[in-house]
């Protein structure tokens, strides 16, 4: 199997936050501004309404509107993937069909959360969603969020048997599983890192790129690191990897979940994205201090 041009999304995809206004509604101008910022600061494409976009708090109508807004604003300057995964297969199919109607470039479909399906259940879920549309699909394994791990064998079965499942965002952190996944993947199937701190090690194993949170603020560095590695400048890539780690640590603090810290970082940098929606709350003083320290250390904030 080989990827079609419609699935050539690029190497740095940003899992975009959803900007909210003071009343907690989608901030449409803020969304347009954020899309422009990301596409001019290192992002090849955008993932809309994923975990970082606080998808569980968005209604179906809000998700449709976000897909429309980002597609309109991107205007072909970068790929747009719609986050359409839920823990109900029928809902995921419905949302995927709605995203296809908007004209997005692909789908990101997360493993069903909370209900903890078997590997066979995962296979049937992803197959049902993918077969509901002709769009290329990136499946998303993030056991730390969903409490279920999609094993390499299950992902590879999908890659071999479902023509439009063309990539995986792997955020399990198990390098042996990642090795099995990359080494066993059919031609053209792309593995993206779902953990910003593991992009370089995963590239060394043969991963293609990253679906990133920290690229909201260090997109050019993420892009430069990948290019340096691919050009054989491994020392330069390692230096950039180490330079970004304080930003990674600040954006993934133990005391508060993503996207809370990265929203704080964007607001500090003058890219207004508002507060998160409940049940997430704003970063506290200590968490903001950690974010600010990392931004200043990176030369992003005076």
Q: What residues are labeled active site?
A: 140, 169
Q: In sequence order, which residues have a C-beta less than 8 Å from that of residue 110 and are 6 or more positions away?
A: 50, 51, 83, 85, 86, 139, 140, 142, 145, 146
CB 263 within 8 Å of CB 250: no
Mapping DSSP to helix (H, G, I), strand (E, B) and coil, where does residue 202 land?
helix
**Omega of the bond leading into 128 within 30 degrees of 0 (cis):** no
| Tokens linked to 113 | 């959360």
Rounded distance between C-alpha atoms, residue 120 and residue 117, angstroms: 8
In SS3 terms, 19-48 reads as CECCCCCECHHHHHHHHHHHHCCCCCEEEE
User: Which residue carries 């109900």 as its tokens?
Assistant: 88
| Cα–chain center distance at 271 | 19
Q: Which helix (H) or strand (E) holds 53?
A: none
Q: In sequence order, which residues have a C-beta less than 8 Å from that of residue 291 and are 6 or more positions away?
A: 250, 251, 261, 264, 265, 268, 283
Of the candidates 94, 165, 81, the one whose C-alpha atom is nearest the C-alpha of residue 127 is 165
Rounded distance between C-alpha atoms, residue 6 and residue 106, angstroms: 8
User: Which residue carries 């600010």 as its tokens?
Assistant: 292
């Amino acid at each position: 199997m080989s990827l079609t041009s419609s699935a050539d999304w690029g190497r740095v995809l940003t899992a975009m936050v959803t900007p909210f206004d003071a009343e907690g509604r989608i901030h449409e101008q803020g969304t347009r501004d954020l899309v422009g910022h990301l596409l001019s600061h290192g992002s090849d494409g955008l993932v809309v309404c994923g975990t970082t976009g606080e998808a569980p708090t968005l209604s179906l109508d809000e998700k449709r509107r976000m897909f429309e807004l980002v597609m309109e604003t991107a205007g072909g300057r970068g790929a747009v993937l719609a986050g359409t995964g839920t823990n109900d297969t029928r809902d995921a199919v419905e949302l995927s069909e709605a995203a296809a109607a908007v004209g997005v470039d692909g789908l990101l479909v997360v493993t069903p959360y909370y209900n903890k399906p078997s590997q066979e259940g995962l296979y049937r879920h992803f197959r049902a969603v993918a077969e509901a549309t002709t769009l290329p699909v990136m499946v998303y394994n993030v056991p730390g969020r969903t409490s279920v791990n999609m094993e390499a064998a299950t992902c590879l079965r999908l890659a071999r048997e479902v023509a439009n499942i063309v990539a995986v965002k792997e955020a399990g952190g198990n390098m042996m599983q990642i090795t099995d996944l990359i080494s066993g993947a059919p031609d053209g199937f792309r593995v993206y890192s779902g953990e910003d701190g593991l992009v370089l090690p995963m590239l060394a194993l043969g991963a293609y790129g990253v679906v990133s949170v920290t690229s909201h603020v260090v997109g050019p560095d993420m892009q430069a690191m990948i290019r340096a590695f691919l050009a054989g400048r491994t020392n330069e890539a390692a230096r950039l990897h180490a330079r970004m780690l304080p930003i990674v640590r600040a954006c993934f603090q133990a005391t508060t979940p993503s996207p809370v810290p990265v929203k704080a970082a964007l607001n500090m940098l003058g890219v207004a994205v508002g507060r998160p929606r409940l049940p997430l709350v704003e970063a506290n003083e200590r968490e903001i201090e950690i974010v600010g320290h990392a931004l200043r250390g990176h030369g992003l904030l005076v």
